[in-house]
Amino acid sequence: MTTPLARGIAAEWTRTSGRSFLWTVAVPLTIALPLLITFGIATVAERFAAIPGQLQVTSVSTTNAVYWVITLATGIMMVTAAFAHATQLRGNIRDLNAFLFPRTWTAALARWIFYGAIAAVSTVVLLTLVLTVLPSLFPQVYGQVRIDDPAGLRFLWTVPIYAFAACGIGIAAGSVIRTPPAAIAALLFWVYVGENSISLLPNGYTLQGYAPFLNAVAATGQELAFLPRFGRNGSLAYFLAVTVAIFVIALLAGQRNRRRW
């Protein structure tokens, strides 16, 4: 069991090595975009705070300092995983993939581990950088931010878990929706439109309480108007359970489709 999985991870590493989309676009964007937005907002806020008597700027706490890391870094790596997996299930590449990995779960799980690990490491780097640099460079607005307070420490372990798990949903989407742009569009709609719009439906707030991604973000400790349905740790466990369920269902559907070839 371990050997095919290890081969799958090694194969993905080989496939993406060099000047691939992953290392030239996805990972740099995962790092740069959250930093650009976070420090851009911080720069503007600090300048306003330095103007006496013109505009009062509320100081930011640790619980609201890494929103863009949670939202963008996780989202980018999730759609990258979906794109990678969907691409490998099309055309001649699909036939080669089936020959190398006769069991559907091998390539899917290997890619989840591969992209999930990159997402987790990226978020740890980003969190450490943001939580240590913000209070040093922007003390008037972000002086209360601390990496070693309870909120900062919680971010350091919950956000990587969230990012890792989200890549599993990306792989699942790529398994079911084998057109890469369509898989990406479906994920983006679900995360950024669907879950936030559920509240507009009848009994929407009750339904929204079960939205996986909103539960996961709230479970990290990020300040949201949304309250975790099952408490912070329970909501993180709920998201992980939903991820595994979706992943397994997608693999079963993919295996059925493969038998029809």
pLDDT of amino acid 149: 94
pLDDT band at 105 (very low <50, low <70, confident <90, very high): confident
Residue whose structure tokens are 């693999």: 251
- In tens, the pLDDT along 204-238 reads 788 888 999 999 999 999 988 887 788 999 999 99
- In tens, the pLDDT along 144-164 reads 999 999 999 999 999 999 999
- In tens, the pLDDT along 237-250 reads 999 999 999 999 99
Tell me if residue 138 falls in helix, strand or coil.
coil
- In tens, the pLDDT along 17-58 reads 888 899 999 999 999 999 999 999 999 988 887 777 655 667
pLDDT of amino acid 255: 67
**Contact predicate 159/70, CB 8 Å:** yes
- Quote the Cα angle for 83-39-33, to 5°: 10
pLDDT of amino acid 103: 65
pLDDT of amino acid 55: 59
pLDDT of amino acid 261: 44
List the one residue out of 89, 85, 81, 87 whose CA is nearest residue 30.
Answer: 81
Between 254 and 9, the higher pLDDT residue: 9
Residue 99 to residues 2, 7, 107, 240, 251, Cα–Cα distance (Å): 18, 13, 11, 31, 17
pLDDT-above-90 percentage for the chain: 61
Q: Which two tokens stand for residue 50?
A: 């330095």
* Domain layout of the chain by residue ranges: 2-259
d(CA 70, CA 38): 11
CA 249 to chain centre: 20
pTM of the model: 0.91
pLDDT-above-70 percentage for the chain: 88
Measured in degrees and rounded to the nearest 5, phi and psi for residue 94 equal: -60, -45
Provide the total of helices (H) and of strands (E) in the chain, helices listed first.
14, 0
List the one residue out of 120, 78, 113 whose CA is nearest residue 5.
Answer: 113
